């Protein structure tokens, strides 16, 4: 089967800073329809990986290797080509919903601006209805109020739902979820996770799920890429990750987790 | 034996002329040499309760009893309380002064209760750093030079340095990695036995609570809705809210409920699946099993 996205020998080094190499020679493939977990401790390079897939790393960052999407290397694309990919074919939901919205703009403005950037959607009429539908799909029912609200007026759960609505508005092929629930409450977390699953069923996008929470991996992911200090240590299906972790660092990680929950 | 007890403890805030009942008539107890846990979602009043116990806030009603002494008017009993109750906060990088070295942070804490020279203090400080799993190389580091786990260990050393009897742990690991969490939890368990401490463990992580706690209180919008010994509570959760939390911790909760509290009667009314007419009256505690209390009319 042909992969939807393949990351080949990707190395990323930030300019300055203490950690020089955030990713070393990472390779993996993402297939259509699956939920692939990117798992590792903080500082293992998970978010760097997500950022390089969208090519949103800060300027001055050294990048080697390639991220191939539909036969072309995202790392080599120009701004115009990237606009076609970012938030369009590949969307992302970040960890901190409050930090992903512009605090001085209403939630509704974000939707309009985003749709304005997307020519196909900009042409469509009755945008208002489309936006409200999206929000309802994402579990927000008082749409009018939410669209008029500023980010600080909404709860973390509502903002994350709005963020998901924004991310799926372009009907993306890939949704990158970068620890989308780690700043949320347990009850909200459970809802957001189930929302993602439902939306995936309905819209058929592929999920790249970044997390350090193995409990979530267990219920959500088909396959797992385990990162340790910037290196891919193990790529396996979820079941074998828990039953037969191969690499030493994976074993430690799994054991720590099991000790906390059992 | 209870080392700390509250009776109908209340703490209200006023926001925009609205009265927010953050802690509304709470009876809890912290058992000696055990881990008593408090579970609930964010905004349910967990931290307010902890801060009221420590005297960061004055209680608006009810009583707090520490070692059989009424300490409700904490400002009159400051040193008595602080010598016995200490706290470890959620975010170590926010709870340690960024301008102080580790040594100065601990020195200042130590000198609150003991008049000691710097040389004498140094020995004690190193001793407590070791207990918290750090060594003297950390002494002259600033908080930003420490990792999250190390900073939390400094917080723990700071909480223990005056030999308290009770330590309040306010989500001590929710900012940490899995592997760091394991180490901190192990450390806390070890210190509890060594120093014969009682813990009041605040968390929203039910899996972690299941691991560490002896007795659990479940809180919802300022009220305790269910409490019981850990094994009983997990085997037989009765209150709809406890069930919901457990469901959520297994990622099985799907529905988008309306968050909020009802004005009268049972606090959980607006969100409860079994809402019936009786719920307009505030439920009282029912002891369903020894030590297992539920605040619900329909159990």
Q: Which of B251, B252, B254 to mutate to test the interface with A (most CBs of A within 10 A)?
A: B251
pLDDT averaged over every residue in chain A: 89
The answer to the question of residue B202 being in a domain is yes
Collect all residues of chain A within an 8 Å Cβ-Cβ radius of residue B177: 41-42, 212
Q: Which three-class secondary structure string do you get for B13-68?
A: EEECCEEEEEEEEECCEEECCCEEEEECCCCCCHHHHHHHHHCCCCCCEEEEEECC
Portion of chain A with pLDDT greater than 70, in percent: 95
What is the reported pTM? 0.86
pLDDT averaged over every residue in chain B: 89
Structure tokens at A6: 């393949």
**What are the structural domains of chain A?**
5-261 (3.40.50.300)
What integer pLDDT is reported at residue A148 of this predicted model?
93
What integer pLDDT is reported at residue A237 of this predicted model?
94
Domain count, chain B: 1
The answer to the question of residue B167 being in a domain is yes
Structure tokens at B47: 């931290």
| pLDDT tens, residue by residue, B31-58 | 999 999 999 988 889 999 999 999 888 8
Structure tokens at B283: 């439920």
Q: Does A219 touch chain B (CB under 8 A)?
A: yes
Q: Does A41 touch chain B (CB under 8 A)?
A: yes
Q: Across residues A35-40, what is the average pLDDT? A: 94
Residues of B with CB under 8 A from a CB of A: 41-42, 148, 177-179, 181-182, 185, 204-208, 210-211, 244-245, 247-257, 259
In the three-class reduction of DSSP (H, G, I as helix; E, B as strand; rest coil), residue A119 is classed as helix
The answer to the question of residue B73 being in a domain is yes
| pLDDT tens, residue by residue, B242-273 | 998 998 888 888 775 555 566 678 888 878 87
The answer to the question of residue B123 being in a domain is yes
| pLDDT tens, residue by residue, B63-88 | 999 998 999 887 788 889 989 999 99
Q: Which three-class secondary structure string do you get for chain B?
A: CEEEEEEEEEEEEEECCEEEEEEEEECCEEECCCEEEEECCCCCCHHHHHHHHHCCCCCCEEEEEECCEECCCHHHCHHHHHHHEEEECCCHHHHCCCCCCHHHHHHHHHHHHCCCCHHHHHHHHHHHHHHCCCCHHHCCCCHHHCCHHHHHHHHHHHHHCCCCCEEEEECCCCCCCHHHHHHHHHHHHHHHHHCCCEEEEEECCHHHHHHHCCEEEEEECCEEEEEEEHHHHHHCCCCHHHHHHHHHHCCCCCCCCCCCCCCCCCCCHHHCCCCCHHHHCCCCCEEEECCEEECCCCC
Portion of chain B with pLDDT greater than 70, in percent: 97
Q: Across residues B14-22, what is the average pLDDT? A: 86
CB contact under 8 A, A41 and B244: no
The answer to the question of residue B268 being in a domain is no
Token pair 């909760």 is at which residue?
B253
The answer to the question of residue B247 being in a domain is no
Choose between A179 and A183: higher pLDDT: A179
The answer to the question of residue B139 being in a domain is yes
CA distance A245 to A254: 8
Domain of B107? 2-221
Q: Across residues A38-66, what is the average pLDDT? A: 90
CB contact under 8 A, A214 and B178: yes
Collect all residues of chain A within an 8 Å Cβ-Cβ radius of residue B247: 190
* Chain B residue nearest residue A250, CA to CA: B179
**Quick one: which H or E segment has residue A50?**
helix A46-53
Q: Find the CATH number of the domain harbouring B143.
A: 3.40.50.300
């Amino acid at each position: 089967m042909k992969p939807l996205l393949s990351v080949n020998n990707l190395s990323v080094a930030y300019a300055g800073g203490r950690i020089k190499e955030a990713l070393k020679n990472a390779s993996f493939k993402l297939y259509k329809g699956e939920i692939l977990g990117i798992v590792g401790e903080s500082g293992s390079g998970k978010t760097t990986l997500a950022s390089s897939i969208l090519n949103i790393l800060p300027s001055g960052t050294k990048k080697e290797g390639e991220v191939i999407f539909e036969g072309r290397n995202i790392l080599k694309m120009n701004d115009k080509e990237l606009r076609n990919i970012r938030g369009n074919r590949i969307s992302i939901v970040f960890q901190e919903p409050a930090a992903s919205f512009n605090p001085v703009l209403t939630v509704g403005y974000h939707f309009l601006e985003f749709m304005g950037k997307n020519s196909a959607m900009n042409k469509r009429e009755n945008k208002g209805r489309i936006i409200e539908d999206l929000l309802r799909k994402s579990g927000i029912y008082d749409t009018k109020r939410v669209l008029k609200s500023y980010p600080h007026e909404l709860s973390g759960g509502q903002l994350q739902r709005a963020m998901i609505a924004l991310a799926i508005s372009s009907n993306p092929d890939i949704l990158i979820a970068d620890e989308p629930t780690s700043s949320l409450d347990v009850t909200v977390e459970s809802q957001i996770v189930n929302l993602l699953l439902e939306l995936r069923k309905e819209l058929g996008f592929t999920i790249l799920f970044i997390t350090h929470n193995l409990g979530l991996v267990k219920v959500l992911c088909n396959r797992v890429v385990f990162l340790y200090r910037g290196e891919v240590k193990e790529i396996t299906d979820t079941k074998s990750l828990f039953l037969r972790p191969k690499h030493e660092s994976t074993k430690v990680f799994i054991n720590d987790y099991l000790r906390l929950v059992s | 034996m209870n080392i700390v007890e509250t009776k109908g403890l209340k703490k209200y805030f006023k926001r925009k002329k609205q009265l927010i009942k953050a802690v509304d008539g709470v009876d809890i107890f912290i058992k000696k040499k055990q881990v008593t846990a408090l579970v609930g979602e964010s905004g349910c009043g967990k931290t307010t309760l902890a801060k009221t116990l420590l005297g960061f806030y004055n209680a608006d009603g009810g009583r707090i009893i520490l070692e059989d002494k009424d300490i409700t008017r904490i400002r009159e009993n400051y040193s008595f309380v602080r010598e016995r109750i200490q706290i470890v906060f959620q975010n170590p990088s926010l709870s340690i002064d960024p301008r102080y070295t580790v040594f100065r942070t601990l020195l200042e804490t130590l000198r609150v209760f003991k008049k000691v020279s710097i040389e004498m203090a140094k020995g004690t400080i190193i001793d407590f750093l070791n207990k918290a799993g750090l060594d003297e190389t950390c002494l002259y580091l600033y908080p930003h030079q420490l990792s999250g786990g190390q900073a939390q260990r400094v917080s723990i050393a700071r909480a223990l340095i005056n030999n308290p009897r009770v330590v309040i742990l306010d989500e001590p690991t929710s900012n940490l990695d899995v592997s760091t969490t394991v180490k901190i939890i192990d450390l806390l368990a070890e210190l509890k036995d060594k120093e014969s401490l009682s813990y009041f463990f605040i968390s929203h992580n039910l899996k972690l609570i299941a691991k560490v706690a002896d007795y659990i209180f479940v809180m919802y919008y300022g009220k305790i809705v269910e409490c019981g010994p850990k094994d009983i509570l997990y085997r037989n959760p009765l209150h709809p809210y406890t069930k919901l939390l457990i469901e959520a911790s297994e990622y099985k909760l799907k529905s988008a409920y309306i968050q909020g509290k009802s004005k009268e009667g049972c606090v959980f009314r607006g969100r409860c699946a079994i809402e019936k007419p009786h719920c307009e009256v505030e439920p009282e505690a029912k002891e369903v099993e020894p030590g297992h209390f539920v605040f619900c009319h329909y159990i």
